[in-house]
Amino acid sequence: MLQKTLVLAPEPFGGEEHVESHSVFGFWLYLMTDCVIFASLFAVFGVLGHQFAGGPDGKALFDIPGVALETGVLLLSSITFGFAMLGAHRRSSGTVLAWLAVTFLLGLGFLWLEFREFGQLLSEGFGPNRSAFLSSFFTLVGTHGLHVTMGLIWMVVLAAQVVCNPEMSEREIRRLTCLSLFWHFLDIVWIGVFTFVYLASVI
């Protein structure tokens, strides 16, 4: 009996649940490092956000209705990703792919609006080298945009895996769950950007 116990005891440590918990836990640790990065960028903007070097401030530069549209598009993409996850838990690959496609298009729309804003600022001579305010602004918003871009690339990769494995194993669902956490995290960060960077700069 003792020998049987010793043989069976290690099994839970090699089981699927242990692997899954470590995967998700490890991804949470990654998100914490991203929190540190964005917290640092927010702190930098808080310090430099009033250093205009004789140039325009946020009230003169920012188009709040346009940024509000960006915010709405990104928040809507978080909802559509939630629908994709509902489909994933039902093992409905068609539903997952359809909602991932909608989420991808919304993410592209967000990036297009952001690039348009950057393009307008640069064309008017208000680039990151114009003032400390603009340097911190471009760095913070650009870093968030880079994360959204990586999320879209990740989304394409996972969609291809779902196409190749329409039965959707636990591994595919776990990967989609990690991307879902990442995508919702970007939404939360953007709400901070919209509030702390845009709205606070025009008040």
Name the domain count of the chain.
Answer: 1
| Percent with pLDDT over 70 in the chain | 89
Give CA–CA dist 51/120, Å, rounded. 21
Consecutive H or E run containing 98: helix 93-123
Stronger pLDDT, 131 or 28, i.e. the higher one: 131
141 belongs to a structural domain: yes
Q: Please, which pLDDT band fits residue 132 given cuts at 50, 70 and 90?
A: very high
Given pLDDT bands bounded at 50, 70 and 90, which one contains residue 88? Answer: very high
Query: Does a structural domain hold residue 4?
Result: no
Task: Determine the pLDDT at residue 21.
Answer: 54
Token readout for 147 is 């994360």
Res. 15: pLDDT tops 70: no
Tell me 114's DSSP state. H
Specify if 88 maps to a domain. yes
Q: Is residue 8 part of a domain?
A: no
By residue range, what is the domain housing residue 78? 19-48+61-202
CATH number, residue 101: 1.20.120.80
| Threshold 0.75, pTM exceeds | yes
Q: Assess if residue 108 is contained within a domain.
A: yes
Q: What pLDDT is recorded for position 6?
A: 40
Phi-psi region of 125 (alpha: psi -120 to 50; beta: other; left: phi over 0): left
| Residue 183 covered by a domain | yes
Query: Would 89 be classed as within a structural domain?
Result: yes
Structure confidence at residue 27 as a pLDDT band (50, 70, 90): confident
Q: Each residue of 96-130: pLDDT tens digit?
A: 999 999 999 999 999 999 999 999 999 999 999 99
Residue 26 belongs to some domain of the structure: yes
Q: Is the pLDDT of residue 73 over 80?
A: yes
Separation CA 113–CA 126 (nearest Å): 17
